Amino acid sequence: MICLDTNYLIRGVTADTAEAAELVAWIEAGETLITSTPAWFEFLCGPVTDDQEAAMRAFLTTIVPFAEPQAVAAARLFNAIDRKRSLRVDSMIAGTAIAANARIATQNRSDFETFVPHGLQLV
């Protein structure tokens, strides 16, 4: 299972990007693609067209709600990285991936690598 970060959602619906090609390859390989509600929120803040939203939604098995298990995982991560405010939303996205036992696909590797020692797996 792969959890898509916001940049994969945005670039995944942009023609001729590496992310769009990877989404297709992952689907063809039988991967399950999910995203977190915080990442989905960022994606929908756009600009994004209705067609782009529908195209990305077709790739996703689910948009994982940010509920108690995700909040607990995110708070644990946020506290483990010394409460770095700039990574608050990234903590929520990473916490969702960890709670779902999913690897995360992101082009923002430098920020998300911070969470790897705390259980996050990168694609």
Query: How confident is the model at residue 84, as a pLDDT?
Result: 82
Question: The pTM is what?
Answer: 0.93
Location of structure tokens 């108690």: 68
CA distance 36 to 69: 12
pLDDT at 11 > cutoff 90: yes
Measure CA 63 to chain center: 10
pLDDT at 1 > cutoff 90: yes
Count Cβ atoms within 10 A of the Cβ of residue 26 and give its class: 0-12 exposed, 13-18 middle, 19 or more buried: middle
Report domain 2-122's class.
alpha beta
Query: How confident is the model at residue 64, as a pLDDT?
Result: 98
Query: How confident is the model at residue 46, as a pLDDT?
Result: 92
Query: How confident is the model at residue 86, as a pLDDT?
Result: 81
Quick check: 74 and 41 in contact, CB under 8 A? Answer: no
78-108 pLDDT, tens digit per residue, is 999 888 888 899 999 999 999 999 999 999 9
21-67 pLDDT, tens digit per residue, is 999 999 999 999 999 999 999 999 999 999 999 999 999 999 999 99
